[in-house]
């Protein structure tokens, strides 16, 4: 610690450097400092906070792993239901989906926000004044389980939003998943040490997130991609989904670099075949791609049928042989 620096200043500086390193590593996928340096910073912060417990706050990177709370998960109602997506399996079904939108909106080749469909677990994260306050599983779309303590252990999920201009209340929806390489390494170690071997990355993510003890979740290699927003209070969002995703990236959320904006049925099918060709080499399991009409005005006009939106659809790939142990 520099001579002039107070413990509080040093703690603030360490937190900033650790948060920046996490952001670079988990969100930008562009690590800035070597792991050993990161561990040293975290150890110094942990010992400083141990000496000054009054300076510890919930958004400190040392507070990601809590202790086992109660025996069950509380219920969380999703004020804005977490949607399920209709599925398309053929090019014709995609063409029909796009044509219905052209006809209803009276537009030619509307713009779509497109992305890979990760094979993980859908969750919703609530931020108040930029601080992560609650996270829940999708459940049945209307009610999920409160898994806040477990989500806090995932370093790709910001405890405090970055940048500026975020709403007073912001709900971010996304997918928790287990990267394939991390899944394999975890299982190799589990086999060697007699730990729990995970059947496949998707079940690994779901099982890890629904552990009653966050210390177990903290040992599981979980990642996260944001893909939508729910409640937004106290600020206007941009007029399109793709611009909102760019804002989420600015505020500290990982957003897939494979996302794109395309026009019309041709653009959709071109994206689908492009991702299809890369599927085997992606670092995570996907089971299709997601097409969303990009402008929110058009989404409102299209509305929903039962719980699935008319303005979005998942175009699925043929089932892939499961990643075996």
Ligand X SMILES: Cc1ccc2cc(C(N)=O)cc(O)c2n1
Which residues have a catalytic role annotated? 117
Beta carbons of 309 and 271 less than 8 angstroms apart:
no
Q: Which is nearer to ligand X, 155 or 202 (CB)?
A: 202
Of the residues 214, 312, 313, 315, which one makes contact with ligand X according to CB under 6 A: 312
Which range in 7-15, 116-124, 142-150, 215-223 contacts ligand X by CB under 6 A? 116-124
Q: Check binding of 284 to ligand X (CB under 6 A).
A: no
- # binding residues, ligand X (CB under 6 A): 11
Closest approach of Cβ 123 to ligand X, in Å?
Answer: 11
Q: Which of residues 45-84 bind ligand X (CB under 6 A)?
A: 83
Q: Which is nearer to ligand X, 130 or 179 (CB)?
A: 179
Q: How far apart are CA 188 and CA 198, in angstroms?
A: 10
∠ at Cα 157 (316, 297), nearest 5°? Answer: 55
Q: Check binding of 11 to ligand X (CB under 6 A).
A: no
Closest approach of Cβ 256 to ligand X, in Å?
Answer: 8
Of the residues 19, 171, 175, 285, which one makes contact with ligand X according to CB under 6 A: 175
Which range in 24-32, 115-123, 141-149, 163-171 contacts ligand X by CB under 6 A? 115-123
Per-residue contact string for residues 232-271; x = within reach of ligand X by CB under 6 A: ----------------------------------------
What residue is closest to ligand X based on CB? 227
Closest approach of Cβ 321 to ligand X, in Å?
Answer: 20
Q: Check binding of 290 to ligand X (CB under 6 A).
A: yes
């Amino acid at each position: 610690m520099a001579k002039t620096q107070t413990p509080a200043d040093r703690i603030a500086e360490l937190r900033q450097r650790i948060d920046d390193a996490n952001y670079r590593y988990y969100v930008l996928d562009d690590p800035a400092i070597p792991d050993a340096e990161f561990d040293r910073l975290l150890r110094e912060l942990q010992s400083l906070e141990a000496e000054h417990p009054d300076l510890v706050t919930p958004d400190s990177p040392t507070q990601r792993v809590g202790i086992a709370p109660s025996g069950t998960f509380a219920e969380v109602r999703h004020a804005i239901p977490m949607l399920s997506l209709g599925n398309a399996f053929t090019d014709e079904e995609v063409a029909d989906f796009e044509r219905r939108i052209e006809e209803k909106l009276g537009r030619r080749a509307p713009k779509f926000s497109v992305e890979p469909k990760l094979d993980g677990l859908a969750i919703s994260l609530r931020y108040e004044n930029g601080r992560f306050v609650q996270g829940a599983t999708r459940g049945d779309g209307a009610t999920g389980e409160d898994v806040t303590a477990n989500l806090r252990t995932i370093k790709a999920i910001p405890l405090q939003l970055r940048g500026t201009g975020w709403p007073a209340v912001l709900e971010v929806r996304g997918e928790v998943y287990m990267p394939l390489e991390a899944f394999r390494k975890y299982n190799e170690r589990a086999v060697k040490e007699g730990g729990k071997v995970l059947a496949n990355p998707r079940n690994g993510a779901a099982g890890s997130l629904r552990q009653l003890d966050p210390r177990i979740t903290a040992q599981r290699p979980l990642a996260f991609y944001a893909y939508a927003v729910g409640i937004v209070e106290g600020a206007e969002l941009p007029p399109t989904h793709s611009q909102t995703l760019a804002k989420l990236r600015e505020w500290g959320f990982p957003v897939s670099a494979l996302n794109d904006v395309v026009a019309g049925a041709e653009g959709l099918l071109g994206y689908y075949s492009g991702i299809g060709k890369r599927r085997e080499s992606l670092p995570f399991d996907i089971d299709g791609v997601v097409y969303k009409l990009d402008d929110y005005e058009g989404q409102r006009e299209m509305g929903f049928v039962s719980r699935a939106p008319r303005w979005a659809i998942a175009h699925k790939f043929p089932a892939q042989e499961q990643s075996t142990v």
